[in-house]
Amino acid sequence: MGLLFVENPREAQVRFDVEHIIAVKDWRLDDAGRWLKMFTDEGASTAGTFGTVRAVNGSPVAPRVEAPAYGDVRVRTIIADATRVIDFGCDTDDAAVIAVDGQAIKPFLLSEAPDDIWRMGPAMRLDVHVRMPGPGQEVKIYDYRTAEPYLLTTLVAVDKGRKKTPFKPKALPTPTELPLPDIAKATHLDFLVQTAAGATAIAPALPPDDPLAKALIDSLCVGDKTFWAINRNSWGAGTDLRLPPPLNVLKDGESYILTITNVSKHVHPMHLHGHVFKVLSSSKKKKLPQFLADTVLVEPNESVDIAFKATSGNWVFHCHILEHMDSGLMGWFRVA
């Protein structure tokens, strides 16, 4: 795997002393170091099949990174794993979220986030500004979701002759190119994320040479069993491998608010292709700020409202826990 950064020229004025990447990815290996099967029925029907070896940046040993004492570090984190959900947190109060999924946000302290952490699932990204402590001290970054906090990185403060100054999170330039939704005029749609109730009615098969069928069916994003559904409709699998009808037909340029409600027992990071949406609110996380993203984590018995301006095309909407996507938790919107 590799990480691709698209740089905003307007960010050149926002300088950090150090930029550090945290790529979270597990590895499914047996005792002899051979690959294990990534898709299991037990995992696909529950929280996903986890790796046997946890790693950060390809190593089971957490990185140690030096930075100037009282300096500023930009920590870029991505969950590159197919299953892992983490609770990102630091053991310092001088840490602020400055971007989510590559989109600038008005900076806020991690200590002001729900439960003092930022919960992230597969494909989700986070940029955090950390102010370093005095010489010789350390900042530890953890995944607090596990029984024992799992160390992701240690930042080590090195004396460079600097003096301590008040921590003021650096704001990244806000996006100007995005087609933002008109909340007041938005059409409201509801979607349930749920376990599959058995066979579902699906549309007749498209002709084999249909370009949409090729793009959405002739891919690796399908399994041979169905465990999940959106509004009782599951993506085709096994002998029922064919394109289901769209979840909805939307109008190009119109604004929509989707209420995504998770009535299952497991978390689902829901991703909408082709759009950046605004996360408006959560039924559980009262301290959640509004922010722009392309993937939103929806927890059990939680409803999350997102808003976007529809762009012409056929766009997949799915869970980013890959086994869930492969076993039915995927649909698509037609925007015309």
- Domain with 284, as residue range(s), is 183-335
Domain membership of residue 174 (yes or no) is: no
Question: What would you report as the CA-atom Rg of the chain, rounded to the nearest whole angstrom?
Answer: 21
101 and 20 belong to one structural domain:
yes
pLDDT band at 201 (very low <50, low <70, confident <90, very high): very low
The number of domains in the chain is 2
Q: What percent of the chain has pLDDT over 90?
A: 79
Shortest CA distance to 62 belongs to which of 104, 24, 102?
24
Domain membership of residue 108 (yes or no) is: yes
Examine the pLDDT at 174 and tell me if it is beyond 90. no
42 and 93 belong to one structural domain:
yes
Domain membership of residue 4 (yes or no) is: no
196 and 296 belong to one structural domain:
yes
Examine the pLDDT at 214 and tell me if it is beyond 70. no
User: Which pair of structure tokens corresponds to residue 207?
Assistant: 């002709």
- Could you tell me how many residues make up the chain? 336
- Average pLDDT (273-277) is 96
Of 278 and 208, which is predicted with more confidence? 278
pLDDT band at 200 (very low <50, low <70, confident <90, very high): very low
Work out the mean pLDDT of the chain and round it to a whole number: 92
Domain membership of residue 170 (yes or no) is: no
C-alpha distances out from residue 269 to 115, 168, 263, Å: 18, 31, 14
User: Which pair of structure tokens corresponds to residue 37?
Assistant: 């099967």
154 and 187 belong to one structural domain:
no
149 and 190 belong to one structural domain:
no
Q: What is the CATH number of the domain that holds 216?
A: 2.60.40.420
| Phi, psi (degrees; rounded to nearest 5) at 326 | -70, -15
- SS3 call for 43: helix
User: Which pair of structure tokens corresponds to residue 127?
Assistant: 């940029």
67 and 112 belong to one structural domain:
yes
pTM summary value? 0.92
pLDDT of 241: 65
Examine the pLDDT at 277 and tell me if it is beyond 90. yes
Of 39 and 66, which is predicted with more confidence? 66
Domain membership of residue 33 (yes or no) is: yes
133 and 202 belong to one structural domain:
no
133 and 226 belong to one structural domain:
no
Domain membership of residue 166 (yes or no) is: no
235 and 132 belong to one structural domain:
no
206 and 304 belong to one structural domain:
yes
Examine the pLDDT at 236 and tell me if it is beyond 90. no
Shortest CA distance to 138 belongs to which of 98, 168, 94, 179?
94
pLDDT band at 139 (very low <50, low <70, confident <90, very high): very high
Contact predicate 21/125, CB 8 Å: no
Domain membership of residue 47 (yes or no) is: yes
Examine the pLDDT at 222 and tell me if it is beyond 70. no
pLDDT of 219: 57
pLDDT digits (tens, 9 = 90+) for 154-166: 999 999 999 999 9
145 and 187 belong to one structural domain:
no
pLDDT of 208: 61
Domain membership of residue 2 (yes or no) is: no
130 and 197 belong to one structural domain:
no
